[in-house]
Structure 1
């Protein structure tokens, strides 16, 4: 099967989110006069990951997530802040929106696919002003037909609603021509499988698949995408 529409996840697929997060968090802590220790950084990452899982499951809203991660962090570690948590959250989001470092090979593969005539879009869970800012500041700016952010759609991957929104925006009627490429089994792969489109699991570290999901493809590097989209050949299955 030859695919024509490629839906890319953003964070940890095309963009180096840990770098952006670390830089934004350190800047925010410094702004508040708080220590940017390993303990604080690790606690935030653990809390944030848990909240995003809750968001995927629909048990917390995006608006609540934005402030709750900091509220939990400061409570857990007993940290006193100079600003209200809402202001801290906004400062952090502004800093996060500046983080546009790419995963190795992201520019090369997107540029190559675009030149070859594939229609590229981004479909990402996240906060619109952060994601659009990061994409606009990056070398990938202008390569995507649509940038689908969960905050705009009212749904988050893996919910089918975000895929309905994307298909309507792109005017897609043939699911067999579409593939989603992402690093997350629970949002990207589960969402794509449930929606009935091809899935490509970007798994550069070779992590075990413990969820029993069966992605159409599994790749270790982004450079492998060009060969598989044309041939339909399964690479690491």
Structure 2
């Protein structure tokens, strides 16, 4: 049964493709890496990487060894293209580039300012590399809006594992299904994760995708709808 928030106090935000434009940061960083290692065809190489990376994060979200999977991904992808590299080295280079991906989605600053003015406690709950995500949050100017940032590398497990959310209730003992909601773009990690933790969820769905197998508490397609939903919960 879906959680129903009575008096909203905590809003837990996903980061990538909810607040920050991860697609833009990823494309820029990936192009730099692939060009640096002289791939013969950028289009083919990007397609190969994206397909493999999707599998990597699916494995991480199901409990796979994140460090090993991430450190091997460029070695595997470039290896398929006949290019031999040291996986951990390329991963570090990619993380450094991605850490400079500060692009926010349009309207983020206004939304967060309004929510802070309404005295809501804002948290970030994101899968990813600790240093990379913190650099992006700071670089985008988002850090002052959030009371705490929970990142899977530091937590030790990734969304949708309910233990990821247990880290939040450990730090904030009064955070309960009655006063908290998860906001995110991913059905697999954000919405399923919220369901696993017994939390209400808001699916940020600007591309009008169809939900399958998991049902968010509420679906919004833009920040105006999201703001109205949170302020009138």
Does the residue aligned with 1:39 lie in a helix, a strand or coil?
A: helix
Distance 1:130 1:149, change over 3 A: same
TM-score, length-normalised on structure 2?
0.93
Partner residue of 1:67 out of 36, 52, 71: 71
What is the DSSP-based 3-state SS (H/G/I as helix, E as strand, rest coil) of the residue aligned with 1:163? helix
Aligned mates of 1:140, 1:26 — CA distance in 2? 26
RMSD: 1.5
d(CA) in 2 for partners of 1:175, 1:198: 7
Structure 2 partner of 1:111: 113
2:78 equivalent to 1:79:
no
In the TM superposition, residue 80 of structure 1 has moved relative to its aligned partner by 4.0
Q: Does 1:230 align with 2:206?
A: no
| 1:163-194 deviation digits (Å, cap 9, x = unpaired) | 01012223334321100000111111111112
Task: Name the SS of the counterpart of 2:145 in structure 1.
Answer: coil
Write the mapping of 1:1-237 to structure 2, written as runs, cut at 5 A.
1-35=6-40, 37-58=42-63, 60-81=64-85, 84-211=86-213, 213-232=214-233
TM-score between both structures, scaled by the size of structure 1: 0.91
User: Which blocks of at least 5 consecutive residues in structure 2 are unaligned?
Assistant: 1-5
Segment drifting more, 30-39 vs 124-133: 30-39
Residues in 2 aligned to 1:194 and 1:93: alpha-carbon distance in whole angstroms: 29
Structure 1 residues without counterparts, runs of 5 or longer: 233-237
Task: Name 1:235's counterpart in structure 2.
Answer: none
Distance 1:130 1:10 in 2: 12
d(CA) in 2 for partners of 1:179, 1:108: 19
Q: CA deviation at 1:36?
A: 6.2
Structure-1 separation of matches of 2:41 and 2:21: 20
How far is 1:46 from its partner? 1.1
**Contact 2:184 2:202 (8 Å CA) reproduced:** yes
